[in-house]
Structure 1
Amino acid sequence: MSERKIDEISGVETTGHNWDGIEELDNPMPRWWLWTFYVTIVWAICYTIAYPAWPLINSATTGLLGWASRGDVRQEMQVAEAAKADYVAKIADMPVEDIIADDNLRQFATAAGAAAFKVNCVQCHGSGAAGFPGYPNLNDDDWLWGGTPEEIQTTIAHGVRYEEDEETRYSEMPAFGDMFSREEASSLAKHVIAMGQGGDLTGPGAQLYADNCASCHGETGAGDQALGAPDLTDAIWLYGSSEAEIIAQIRAPKHGVMPAWQARLGDVTVKELTVYVHSLGGGQ
């Protein structure tokens, strides 16, 4: 058991603690430190009396001064809302094309759209809007349903294959898994790859493509935005461009769903998102 004693060298009493023969001196704290500590205690007590501090069941103590930072924040928000009210009103009344043509409105809508994008869209399209496998890249110029401001607005407002919206974009590629043998699917995939690479288009997959795919993707494979049929001749692939990935899409195609944002966000925010997405560089 440790014992308190007087240190022979310093003459200071020890605390009784001992670590491997090393003893701790019980030196008193500096007076200035103690007084500073006492002042902080008094300050804390005064603060909790003067300002909101102690949580209650449904609220908190209001403090003698009755001040709260929420009031200042509320006032600042009201000032900010009033400052942008004119811009919001104009955006609500103007078509997207006119908003983009107005420099001030375009800058405001782009900034507001960027904020809305970070809250609602980055989960699928990424923080830089570059997308992921199965989620389109919004920076390129390959648009399944068209990249004009009006077309982008329609896609954002009504979504894609979103059953709760009657005006949603809708297209669905048939599953050819029961129609084609694996060899036929491979021949068709090779033909599709050749269409984008300038290869031989006279192979066994040519007739399969003409009979089953050209009605939507076009004879040259350039796609049809009115049908939501992708361009098969470029280097942009939503689900992968390897032969195995194309075969998988032919046999059992994947169909993504994009929510309709009009009812959730309102007309103004949809327009702001439209302006922002169009500004990324890929808009037509």
Structure 2
Amino acid sequence: MSDKHVDEFSGVETTGHEWDGIRELNNPMPRWWVWTFYATILWAVGYAIAYPSIPLLTKATDGLLGSSSRADLTQEVETAKSTQTTYLDQIAAKTVGEIDADPNLRQFAISGGASAFKVNCVPCHGSGAAGGPGFPNLNDDDWLWGGDLESIQKTIAHGVRFDGDGDTQVSEMPAFADVLDATQTRNVAAYVWSLTKTSSDIEMASAGKQAFLDNCAACHGEDGKGSNDMGAPNLADAIWLKGEGEEAITRQIIAPKHGMMPAWAARLGETTVKELTVFVHSLGGGK
């Protein structure tokens, strides 16, 4: 006869443990749960035998299946490099116009150009390519040297006023401090400002028009819209590179500031320059 105690309310045997008159019921785990637990143990043992898992002094066990996540990653990287090489070879062999016309090649070039831009161009043009004081915004349609693919490529490759490249883009606005007197300078500044905004003095702006035509129109054009061939900025689009307002324009007329952009062809190579070209052109302001 069994001497085990059975709880009179539940009819379940107790374990023999008792605390303050409270007995512990001996409720075993469901059999399906127990067999599932055993199955996970068998699975773990099998996995440890089949795959690398048990650490040794210098490496882990190889496993019967010879699987290696490192080898898989290496293979994936090699495959990616092979695909990249195919695209890079095409970019090297084609013009920027041909690259832009091929949807797959264009997307690859934009991705590569975006990466190169972050490493090399962000310090001046900003992470969003919006530029800043003295540094052009590459998102708008205001281009000193032209916004088509070929013009952008030339500017990136050879830079602007870069002494280390014989083909660099060169243009310099002369200082007019010795050409125009103070009154004429203020009048010209008032006229230039009037091309996009209401001048502080309409009579000064009117008087400055003739001085502008006599001294500035050769580069900026009679309508003030500039010239990409000469790198002369458009003064009639309300986009100001060196400062906004009549005072800033006056300072630029008296003692103009000139920026410099390095030539990137020698540093980055022709292929990366093409990728940068397609990327910059894709920002929205390209022509």
TM-score band w.r.t. shorter chain: 0.7 to 0.9
Asked if 2 retains the 8 angstrom alpha-carbon contact of 1:197 and 1:233, the reply is: no
Q: Which one is further off, 175-184 or 208-217?
A: 175-184
Q: Counterparts of 2:75 and 2:131 in 1: how far apart (Å)?
A: 38
Structure 1 residue 76 displacement after superposition: 5.1
Give the partner amino acid of 2:145.
W
| Structure 1 residues 182 and 50: alpha-carbon distance in aligned structure 2, compared to 1, 3 A threshold | same
Per the alignment, residue 152 of structure 1 pairs with: 152
Q: Counterparts of 2:198 and 2:251 in 1: how far apart (Å)?
A: 22
Please provide the CA RMSD for this pair. 2.5
Matched, 1:255 2:258: yes
Give the partner amino acid of 2:277.
T
Q: Counterparts of 1:47 and 1:143 in 2: how far apart (Å)?
A: 62
Structure 1 residue 79 displacement after superposition: 3.0
Matched, 1:270 2:278: no
Q: Counterparts of 1:228 and 1:79 in 2: how far apart (Å)?
A: 44
Q: Counterparts of 1:178 and 1:194 in 2: how far apart (Å)?
A: 24
Structure 1 residue 184 displacement after superposition: 1.9
Matched, 1:187 2:187: yes
Give the partner amino acid of 1:196.
T
Give the partner amino acid of 2:215.
N
Unaligned runs of 5+ in 1: 1-45, 52-62
Per the alignment, residue 284 of structure 2 pairs with: 281
Structure 1 residue 197 displacement after superposition: 3.5
Q: Counterparts of 1:230 and 1:102 in 2: how far apart (Å)?
A: 32
2:139 counterpart SS class: coil
Structure 1 residue 74 displacement after superposition: 6.4
Q: Counterparts of 1:254 and 1:149 in 2: how far apart (Å)?
A: 27
Per the alignment, residue 28 of structure 1 pairs with: none
1:50 counterpart SS class: coil
Q: Which one is further off, 81-90 or 133-142?
A: 81-90
Q: Counterparts of 2:218 and 2:185 in 1: how far apart (Å)?
A: 18
Per the alignment, residue 3 of structure 1 pairs with: none
Per the alignment, residue 113 of structure 2 pairs with: 113
> How does the TM-score come out when normalised to structure 1?
0.73
Superposed, which structure 2 residues align to 1:24-63 within 5 Å? 49-50=57-58
Larger Rg: 2
Aligned residue pair count: 226
Q: Counterparts of 1:144 and 1:113 in 2: how far apart (Å)?
A: 21
| Structure 1 residues 165 and 141: alpha-carbon distance in aligned structure 2, compared to 1, 3 A threshold | same
Give the partner amino acid of 1:240.
G
1:21-76 CA-to-partner distances (Å, cap 9, x unmatched) read xxxxxxxxxxxxxxxxxxxxxxxxx979526xxxxxxxxxxx9x9xxx99987665
Q: Counterparts of 2:82 and 2:227 in 1: how far apart (Å)?
A: 45
| Structure 1 residues 104 and 220: alpha-carbon distance in aligned structure 2, compared to 1, 3 A threshold | same
Structure 1 residue 203 displacement after superposition: 1.9
Matched, 1:239 2:242: yes
Per the alignment, residue 214 of structure 1 pairs with: 217
Per the alignment, residue 102 of structure 2 pairs with: 102
Q: Counterparts of 1:218 and 1:120 in 2: how far apart (Å)?
A: 34
Structure 1 residue 152 displacement after superposition: 0.4
Give the partner amino acid of 1:193.
W
Q: Counterparts of 1:186 and 1:82 in 2: how far apart (Å)?
A: 62
Unaligned runs of 5+ in 2: 1-53, 63-68
Q: Counterparts of 2:71 and 2:166 in 1: how far apart (Å)?
A: 43
Matched, 1:91 2:94: no
Superposed, which structure 2 residues align to 1:129-140 within 5 Å? 129-140=129-140
2:115 counterpart SS class: helix
1:174-207 CA-to-partner distances (Å, cap 9, x unmatched) read 0112222322211110011112247758722112
Per the alignment, residue 4 of structure 1 pairs with: none
Matched, 1:229 2:237: no
1:156 counterpart SS class: helix
Structure 1 residue 208 displacement after superposition: 1.2
Per the alignment, residue 169 of structure 2 pairs with: 169
Q: Counterparts of 2:223 and 2:137 in 1: how far apart (Å)?
A: 23
Give the partner amino acid of 1:106.
R
Q: Which one is further off, 90-99 or 80-89?
A: 80-89
